[in-house]
Amino acid sequence: MDYTKKIVYQSNYWYNDGLRKANARDMSGAVESLRRSLQFNRENIAARNLLGLVYYGIGEVPEALVEWIISKNLRPRDNIANYFIKTVQDAANELETINLAIKKYNQCLSYCRQNGEDLAVIQLKQVVSSHPTFLKAYQLLALLYLQNGQYTRARQLLKTARSLDVNNETTLRYLRELTQQRGRHRRRNEKKKEDAVEYSLGNETIIQPRHSRIKEMSNHLAVANIFIGAAIGAAIIWFLVAPAVNQSRSERMNDQMRAYSDQIKSLEAQVSAQTRTLDDYRASGAELESNANQAQATQKSYESLITVSDQFNAGQTSDADMANTLINVTRDSLGESGQALYDELAGEIYPDACDTFFVQGTDAMNSGDYETAMNAFYKIRWMDEGYNNGQALFNLAQAYMQLGQNENAATYFQMVVDNYGDSEYAAEAKTNLDTLNQAADDSGE
């Protein structure tokens, strides 16, 4: 009997310790203490319910539900775990959001293993936005920012993670690493500032090496030598030229003309140098604008790809709607993991979407709505050029011909003839192509 009381006493001791740590937001310490409490007495309902609340507080909703369900089975009646479970079940939309956030987090782990950190960062932002208490998501996103040198963002995320769990070992380790990285980064910047000077030229910041004292002294000596050389040269010129000062006026005029000519050449050289500098700035600005546009296009491609991925996983969006979004993705701008995800989604979505667009295009052609037909067949051509052995291309060319866009029509009729010569549409495509070419020749005459 004394042994049983001792076990119950130990279980209650660790429960009280876990409660104290939970009140201080030391969630990791609370989990450890409450687990010890349950090791001594697995039927300690208060400890098990509190452990579920601690898990819920750091975003681990599945683990919280497991503890509450066990608690409910141990004591079916007069158990607050029933209220907790019912509250979670009643918030079906919130529960679905949390479930989707956990799936995205697991997918981000896969991206990181496949060197797809850029996709992981984009998706983790959505995770922490939809599930603000998901501690592990904050930690992983902070780690990615830390790896990329974005220390300010990493610190903000780690501060949020620490507010959820003040003594979490992983968070504290990342904070120590952040402090060390920022210290090394600061020392490098200070070393660079010591060795370099900055000044502004228009909208540009110019950084150049700082001159040492020896270099400065050598510069001063060089300037002094120039002045000394100029003085000596002036003296020599004075003593040599003075006897010829009284030469004819024409010679003096010639000397002046040569001097003016030298000044003009010097000014022309300066203007040419300034012109080249201006051209370089313009070229640099155009390159920066091009890089910015490319980065924006890449970001839009990733956002569209993530949107289609989420829609595909949810299974509530039609293939045609997902294809309309996926068509806007520039595959070549994606990384290796992004291209793999694009190819996987395209292989699942495009075949059924082509069938849908073909039916829409055919109905539009039959009703005389050639603009709608052209748009539908053009999407098929973009997704699967050889759809139905060239039939989509043939119908696209016919739609262009009905709209009076004969150049586009001729282009696609020619593609049917060149690439699908054995199809049933090739002969009619050739006839229409000859007709369009003849009409073009007649209009040219």
Asked whether the beta carbons of 140 and 2 are under 8 A apart, the reply is: no
Q: What is the pLDDT of residue 236?
A: 54
Indicate the number of domains in the chain: 3
- Beta-carbon count within 10 A of 77 CB: 6
Q: Quick one: average pLDDT of 143-154?
A: 88
- Beta-carbon count within 10 A of 391 CB: 19
Q: What is the pLDDT of residue 251?
A: 72
Same structural domain, 35 and 53: yes
Q: Give the pLDDT confidence of 19-36 residue by residue, as tens digits.
A: 999 999 999 999 999 999
Domain termination site, one of 145, 173, 201: 201
Residue with the bigger pLDDT between 98 and 182: it is 98
Q: What whole-number distance in Å separates Cα of residue 31 and Cα of residue 178?
A: 26
Q: Could you tell me the two tokens for 193?
A: 């500032």
Residue with the bigger pLDDT between 299 and 186: it is 299
Q: Is 415 a member of any domain?
A: no
Residue 257 amino acid letter: M
Q: What is the pLDDT of residue 286?
A: 64
Q: Quick one: average pLDDT of 338-350?
A: 88
Residue 228 has pLDDT above 90, yes or no: no
Domain termination site, one of 40, 63, 90: 90
Same structural domain, 81 and 122: no
Q: What whole-number distance in Å separates Cα of residue 430 and Cα of residue 114?
A: 49
Q: Could you tell me the two tokens for 339?
A: 């291209």
Q: What whole-number distance in Å separates Cα of residue 362 and Cα of residue 370?
A: 10
Q: What is the pLDDT of residue 239?
A: 55
Q: What is the pLDDT of residue 273?
A: 65
Q: Quick one: average pLDDT of 35-62?
A: 92
Q: Which of 150-164, 201-215, 225-239 has the highest mean pLDDT?
A: 150-164
199 in helix, strand or coil? strand
Residue 277 has pLDDT above 60, yes or no: yes
User: pLDDT averaged over the chain?
Assistant: 82
Q: What is the CATH number of the domain that holds 11?
A: 1.25.40.10
Residue with the bigger pLDDT between 203 and 231: it is 231
Same structural domain, 18 and 61: yes
CA dihedral sign of residues 363, 367, 370, 372: negative
* pTM, to two decimals: 0.41
Nearest to 84 by CA among 66, 60, 110, 65: 65
Q: Is 115 left (phi over 0), alpha (psi -120 to 50) or beta?
A: left
Q: Is 57 a member of any domain?
A: yes
Q: What is the pLDDT of residue 445?
A: 46
Residue 134 amino acid letter: F
Residue with the bigger pLDDT between 100 and 258: it is 100
Domain that includes residue 156, residue range: 96-201
Q: What is the pLDDT of residue 379?
A: 92
